[in-house]
Chains A and B, each alone.
Chain A
C-alpha cells in the first residue's frame, strides 16, 4: 500500500469535511520529506560565538518542531540543548523562535510551515545560556515583583462565593503558562530593561480583577511607574504572540484604569473634605 492510500484509508469514514490542510493526526505516517533545520548554537564551549548549524532530517511521520528537535538530539547531535517537558502546550518550557515567529515548539506542526527550511533561535530579549536555552531568571524576578498571589484572608471553613461572570473576568489571564513569549516579543521591554513586561502585569491584573482580592491601594501603587504599567506603549505585540490566547495588553490597561480611578477617588475625597 502506498503511503498515500494508507492515509486515506485511516481517515474516519464518517468525516468528510476534514480541512484539506489539516492532514492526518500527529504521529501518523506521511510521505517522506527532507527538512533542513538551522539551529542557533551557542555556549558549547566557554567563549564560543553564536553560529547556525544545519541538520537535515527525513520526516516520515507527522510531527511537531519539538519532536523534530528531540529526534535530532537523539540521532544527530546529543549536545543540542533546549527545554521541554509536557509536549502538549501546557508546561511552557519550549518557547523559541521558529522561522522568526515566537511559539512553543511542541505546538507547531512541521506540515503547517510554508517551508521545509526551518530556522530555530532562542527567545529574543533573554540571555542565552546554551543553544535554545535562555536565562529565565529576570522573567521570574519581574513576576515575583508584582506579588503574584491572591491577597485575601484565609479560612478554610467554606468556599468564597463567586459568580461565573466574575470568574470569566479573570479567565483569559488564568490561561497564562508563563512561557515568556510575550516578554520576548515586547518592543517596550526591549527598549526599557527595567519594564516588568506583559506576563507579570497580566498576572497582576488576574489578581486585581479577582472578586476575592483584598490588595491594598498602596500595594498597587508600585506599578504606577515606567517600570510598571506605564512602560507599556500599547504596541500590542504580546497579544498577537501569546500561544494561549491571552491578551496581556488588556490586563495592563485594566491595572491602569484601576490606578487612575484610585487617584480620582483620592482627589474627589480631598475636594469634599
Chain B
C-alpha cells in the first residue's frame, strides 16, 4: 500500500497549486490521469481575472467591483462572502504567478496587460495572448519540479474511500502497469475538473468525465448545483474547439446570416460582452429562428481588428481555425456555435474548500464553493483554480498538529478488494452492452434535452431515460483485455458515475421551476427568488438520488434583476 500524508487527485492548476502550498510541510503526492502538463487547464485561453487596475480605462477597478460583477453574473446564486474572498485574493495570486515566471502579456508601462471580458465593468482579465491556461499550467508544473513534488502520472483514481465519516485515501488504476493500487493518506484533495464530456458538443478534453464528482458522490459526499452547466457562446463549428471570449474582448463581432450584430437586440449596452449565458442563448435563438447558416452556426468576425492585433493577441485562435477548419480569420469570419464548456456545479465545499468530511477537500472545477453560482464569468475559472488550490493548502496547513487522521489500511484493503472484483466482473462479461453505446446516448440526450433551453416535459423524459441507461449499465462489458494502457476499463468505470451525474443534472433541472443563469426553462422563463434562491444538493441514498436545498449567502448585495 502506498502511503503519503496528503494525496491530491488531479494535476491541473488547482491540484498543482494546492501541492505547492503543502509540499514544504507535508509528504504530498499528486495523482493524475494524464501527465500534469496534459491537464485540461492548459486549454484555457482568454485569461484570468484580478482587479489590478492596470488598464488605462480600469484605474478605478477594485476587488469589490470584481466581486459585484461576479455575483451579478452568477444571477445571485454565488455565495457572496466566498466571492469577496476570491476577488480580494486575486491580485496577490496573479503577482505570485508572475514571480514564478508566468509570461503575461504587458502594457507599454511594463505592467501586466488586461483585456475586457464578458460581464465585467472594467478591463480586468490578465492574459498571455490567447494561451493563458497553457502558460499558467506550465509555470505551476515548473514550480512543482523545482520543489520535487511527487507525481504519479497516468494513474487514475477510481474510488474515494470514506468510512465512519473519515477519508482514508483512494483506490487508483495505474494505467502504465494496468493494475489497481491503494493509496493511503491523512488528507485527500480532489482537483479533478469538470463533467463536460457528459455532453456531445463540448469544448472539454476527453479526460473531463466528472470522475471526481462521481467518486465523491458514491462515497457519500453531496454534489451541489449540478444543473448549472455553462455553454460557451463561441466554439468552432463542427469540432466545438473553444474560440476564446478574448476574441470578443478584443472587439470581435457576432454576426447572423444577415450580417447583423444581433446582440443589440439582446444586450444593448454590453453587446458581445454580455455574460456567457446570455450570449449563448442569443446565438441559439438566432439559429433556432432561422437567422443562422445552414448546419446551425453564426459568424465570429475578427477581420476589422486588423492583422497586427489578431497576430499579437489571438495567434492561437488563428492557428486553430487554420488547422481545424481550414479558414484564416484574417480573411474570413469564423463559423461558431454554442457548446458545453464549464461545470458550475460540483463537490459541495465551504469557502476553505472543505467538504462535509473533515479530511476531504476539493478545489477547482470539480468543486462547487459556490463562487460562480448559476453562471461563471469568463476569466474567473483560472482565478478559482489557483486561489482555491491555495486556500485548501492553507486550511490543511493550519491543521498541522491539531489531530491526525491515520488511514485505516484494512478499510483500504477491503475497498481495493471490492474494486478488483467489480473490474473482474466487468472483464468476465463477454457479451454485454458496449460502454460507448450507453455513453453516446447519454451525451446526445444531455445535449438535446438538458441543454441551453430546457422544458419540463423533455427533462422528465431525460430523467426516465437516464435511469434506463443505468439499468443497461448493469450489463456493460469491456472488450479490451486487462493490461497496461487498457483504457476501456477506465471508461467503463467512469461511465457509472457519469450516469449518476447525468441523472442529477436532469433531476435538478426538472425540479428547479425557474430560469437562472445558465439554467433556462422555456416553461418557467423568469427567475423566482422567493422559491429558488437556493443551492441544490444531491446525495445518493442507496439506489436513489435525494435532492435537498441550502440557503445562498447574500450578505453583501441584495439580489436585483440582471440587465446588461
Contacts and interface: CB of A to CB of B under 8 A. Distances in A.
Interface of A: 9-10, 12-15, 17-19, 21-28, 43-44, 62, 64, 74, 78-79, 81, 83-93, 107, 109, 129-131, 133, 136, 140, 143-144, 147-150, 152-164, 166-167, 170-171, 174-175, 177-178, 207, 210, 212
Interface string B89-101: 0001011101111
Given A15-B332, A18-B326, A88-B320, 13 more contacts: A28-B295, A64-B324, A78-B479, A84-B206, A85-B205, A86-B38, A91-B43, A150-B99, A150-B101, A152-B99, A159-B94, A170-B103, A207-B101
A231 B480 CA distance: 43
Interface string B314-345: 00100110011111000111010000000000
A22 B327 CA distance: 7
Interface in B495-536: none
Interface in B279-313: 293-295, 299
B110 interface: yes
A81 B265 CA distance: 50
A-B residue pairs, 10 tightest by C-beta: A22-B326, A150-B101, A27-B238, A161-B110, A25-B238, A78-B480, A149-B142, A81-B485, A91-B38, A10-B295
Contacts of A175: 131
18 contacts: A27-B237, A27-B238, A28-B295, A78-B478, A78-B479, A85-B40, A86-B38, A86-B206, A87-B206, A88-B239, A89-B320, A91-B42, A149-B143, A150-B101, A158-B95, A174-B103, A174-B135, A174-B138
Contacts of B326: 18-19, 21-23, 25, 109
Nearest to B107: A164
Interface string B75-118: 00000000000000000101110111101111011111000000
Chain B interface extent, by class: 35 or more
B548 interface: no
Contact of B109 (A28, A133, A140, A161): A161
Contacts of A90: 42-43, 131, 134, 316
Interface in B19-64: 34-35, 37-40, 42-43, 52
B295 A87 contact: no
Contacts, number: 201
B485 A130 contact: yes
Contacts of A21: 326
A156 B99 contact: yes
Contact of A18 (B101, B129, B332, B479): B332
Looking at A22, A86, A140, the one whose CB has the most chain B CB atoms below 10 A away is A86
B484 A130 contact: yes
A133 B484 CA distance: 10
A17 B100 CA distance: 45
A158 B316 CA distance: 28
Nearest to B239: A26
A126 to B, nearest CB: 14
Nearest to B259: A14
A84 to B, nearest CB: 6
Given A88-B43, A130-B485, A93 B99 contact: no
B389 to A, nearest CB: 15
Contacts of A161: 109-111
Contact of B128 (A22, A154, A174, A207): A174
A81 B105 CA distance: 39
B562 to A, nearest CB: 32
Given A81-B487, A84-B206, A85-B206, A163 B101 contact: no
B486 interface: yes
B236 interface: yes
B42 A25 contact: no
A91 B110 CA distance: 30
Contacts of A159: 52, 94-95, 98-99, 104, 111-112
Nearest to A148: B142
B241 A10 contact: no
Contacts of A93: 34-35, 38
The dominant DSSP class at the A interface is: loop
A156 B484 contact: no
Contacts of B559: none
A15 B293 CA distance: 12
A12 B333 contact: yes
Contacts of A164: 105-106, 108
B417 interface: no
A191 B175 CA distance: 31
Contacts of A144: 145
B239 A156 contact: no
Contact of B106 (A85, A92, A163): A163
Contact of B40 (A22, A86, A170): A86
A65 to B, nearest CB: 12
B425 interface: no
Contacts of A18: 326-327, 332
B189 to A, nearest CB: 21
A13 B106 contact: no
Contacts of B128: 174
A215 to B, nearest CB: 12
B481 interface: yes
Nearest to B135: A174
A250 B110 CA distance: 26
A241 B477 CA distance: 40
B469 interface: no
Contacts of B98: 159-160
B110 A87 contact: no
Nearest to B332: A15
B146 interface: yes
Nearest to B436: A74
B331 A17 contact: yes
Contact of A88 (B99, B106, B242, B488): B242
B455 interface: no
A12 B293 contact: yes
B418 interface: no
Contacts of B327: 15, 18, 22, 25
Contact of A87 (B205, B434, B485): B205
B101 A88 contact: no
A81 B478 CA distance: 15
A25 B335 contact: yes
B38 A156 contact: no
A85 B111 contact: no
Nearest to A89: B323
Nearest to B326: A22
A140 B144 CA distance: 13
A14 to B, nearest CB: 7
Contacts of B324: 25-26, 64, 88-89, 107, 109
A79 B294 contact: no
Contacts of B467: none
Contacts of B150: none
